[in-house]
Amino acid sequence: MKEATSLDPASIRARIDEMTAQLRNERGITEWKHILDRSRQALDLATHAGYDLGRARALCGLAFANYNRWEHKQALVEAQEAREIFERLGDNEWLPEALMVTCLVEWSLGNYDHALESGIKAMRLYEQIGSAEGLAWSYAAAGGVALDLGQHQQALTYLLESIEIFDKLGNTLGKARAYTGLGAVYQALKVSEAALTVHRECLELSRSLGNALGESRALNDIGAIYQDQGQYDKALEHHQASLALAERIENPQALVTSMLNVGRIYRLTHRLGEAEQALSRALEMAVQLGLKPKVAQAHQELSELCARLEQYEQAWRHYKSFFRARDEVFKDEANTRLRNLQISFEVEQSQKEAEIYRLKNVELARLLDELQAAQAQLVQAAKMAALGDLVASVSHEINSPLGVISSAAQLNQSLGKRLLSGGLDEKGAQVFLENSKATEAAAARIGRIVRSLKGFARLDEAEYQLTDLRRGLDETLTLLEPKYRGRITVQRELDQIPPIYCYAAELNQVFRVVLENAIEAIDGAGVICIRTAAVDAAIEIRFADTGRGISAEQRERLFHPSLRSTGTRVEARMGLFGAYHIVRKHGGEIRVESQPGAGATFTIALPMRLEPAI
């Protein structure tokens, strides 16, 4: 330090820049302890010299090192401080580095929403500054997040793009890391041989680089494939080798993953004592590190193990903990999907705006932009109103069985006290059994509602997929049931129809809008008949109601945005307008047949041969 501080300021800055640039190039190759020590030296030197840019670059090195040492809290603090300095100084060359370490840490913790936000920002900056290597790393990270969200095709696209760039750059380390993700995608798609080939290639590349962490990951992934194939001896051999490497390099995440897999193999091969030891240790470490997905996996494995050991109370405790942990992960995934949709919307809007300015003069583009903004606000307001209505309806529907369960629990407590005191007679036992049946029925009802809501939104499925439309109709009817139960009879004549590629969640919105209009059109008792049929090269879904009917004048503007007054309020009606455009997006059409006083029939026709958007 004395030698460094005796240099002139320009020489000190040059030395700091050289140190931090070298450290950035050595990531993944040099031992992380060395990266940590050298980054601390650079940080001390930059702080002493008052060189903020050098300080921020050194903080990036520390953040990456602490991420790999699994000091996540410290890594996030360092990355955030570096990011703030880069933003203040307007340095876009290193800003994406700070964003990438934030992405990696949040991803490891299962905070997919924050990981995606930081990763997308880094990707855009790498594109702006023309950094092919940075772009490749951001693609690889985005592919990993997409895989964990179950978006396999999106993950495949990102990872193949990443591998292509790394291959052109001759970056073996990056290529090996992207191969890890690619093999996992193939494994998720049940293409075992392709997955095994890719993971073996990754293993060889990692060994050629002396990258113990990459080797540990590859061994673990190969073991997982053998496990799926039922080759437990080979699976255990690879998982134990992965575990030994993870312990040697002191990488907690790899250690937890390998330990979970070893414990799972022990359970499957009836080595129950060893399984309990490995899984309990994995759970303890996952909780300490805040790894929500791993915590859920550990509780699930321990629940199955305890059931095998006939330790039913502990099995039930782990099972409840598994569901709680899984729900936390699911909420994070849902938030991430919503953020992903928002980003896609922003990109699409940017592209449309660019096209407008290319084809039109500035004034026309301004007017069109204002019109689109007003239209978008109306559509969004209508969507939020519909969402609020749906949430209120589902909440009310769930409250009834919850009340049954609550009452049953109180009664069971009373009966349990009588049982313990020896005062429970045959009649009391019969009440206990009947009460249990009521609880089971109420729980089943809640489960049916939640499954329908999840299926309606399709949050854990691909956005564009092969879908049986009858499933969407059933889920939509389940969610709307509180609005028509006891008043309207719904007749389902759902003939066999082939599945089609479509945006399933969007078509569910169309079904909801058409059915809600039918329900509102019926005063008092009535009937709604839903029919499905395959007609020539199209699928038709017909909704016929016995409601008030629609006049010829109303039919002409039925699919236009409209306003209605309710008391002192004026509300926008955008449902059918949005439904019409969703159907048109699928290459289909909506037809309406109606006369005042004679009900209405809405027919949605969709082509069978709409090709998958992959």
Tens-digit pLDDT profile for residues 360-381: 545 555 555 555 555 555 445 4
pTM of the shown model: 0.47
Residue 328 clears pLDDT 80, i.e. is over it: no
* CA–CA gap between residue 262 and residue 105 (Å, rounded): 25
Q: How confident is the model at residue 488, as a pLDDT?
A: 93
Average pLDDT over residues 567-589: 68
Q: Which residue has the tokens 């113990």?
A: 212
Q: How confident is the model at residue 211, as a pLDDT?
A: 83
Count the Cβ atoms, other than its own, within 10 Å of residue 468: 16
CA 54 to chain centre: 37
Q: Which residues contact 174 (CB under 8 A, 6 or more apart)?
A: 133, 136, 137, 140, 162, 166
Choose the weakest-confidence range: 124-138, 335-349, 415-429, 519-533: 335-349
Closest by alpha carbon to 68, among 41, 30, 40, 42? 30
**DSSP letters spanning 434-464:** HHHHHHHHHHHHHHHHHHHHHHHHTTTS-SS
Contact between 212 and 249 (Cβ < 8 Å): yes
Tokens of 578: 């949005």
pLDDT in tens, 288-307: 887 778 888 888 889 888 88
Q: Pseudo-torsion of CA 353, 356, 361, 365, nearest 10°?
A: -60
* CA–CA gap between residue 259 and residue 302 (Å, rounded): 13
Closest by alpha carbon to 558, among 578, 530, 543? 578
Q: Which residue has the tokens 């640039």?
A: 21
Q: Which residue has the tokens 């109370």?
A: 313
Q: Pseudo-torsion of CA 374, 376, 378, 379, nearest 10°?
A: 160
- The C-alpha angle with vertex 238 and arms to 233 and 242, in degrees rounded to 5, equals 145
Residue 230 is given by DSSP the state T
Closest by alpha carbon to 514, among 357, 386, 367, 394? 386
Average pLDDT over residues 231-238: 92
Closest by alpha carbon to 180, among 157, 161, 205? 205
Choose the weakest-confidence range: 51-60, 69-78, 350-359, 494-503: 350-359
Band (pLDDT 50/70/90 cuts) for residue 613 is very low
* CA–CA gap between residue 560 and residue 578 (Å, rounded): 9
Count the Cβ atoms, other than its own, within 10 Å of residue 1: 9
Average pLDDT over residues 572-583: 71
Count the Cβ atoms, other than its own, within 10 Å of residue 380: 12
C-alpha dist (Å) from residue 238 to 134, 180, 191, 196: 32, 15, 20, 13
Q: How confident is the model at residue 406, as a pLDDT?
A: 61
Closest by alpha carbon to 467, among 508, 492, 502? 502
- Positive or negative: CA dihedral 279, 287, 109, 84: negative
Q: Which residues contact 128 (CB under 8 A, 6 or more apart)?
A: 92
The strand pairing partners of 465, in sequence order, are: 502
Residue 582 clears pLDDT 90, i.e. is over it: no
Mean pLDDT value across the chain: 78
Q: How confident is the model at residue 338, as a pLDDT?
A: 47
Q: How confident is the model at residue 112, as a pLDDT?
A: 74
Band (pLDDT 50/70/90 cuts) for residue 343 is very low
Side-chain half-sphere exposure of 527, counting CA atoms within 13 A: 6
Phi–psi pair at 430, nearest 5 degrees: -65, -40
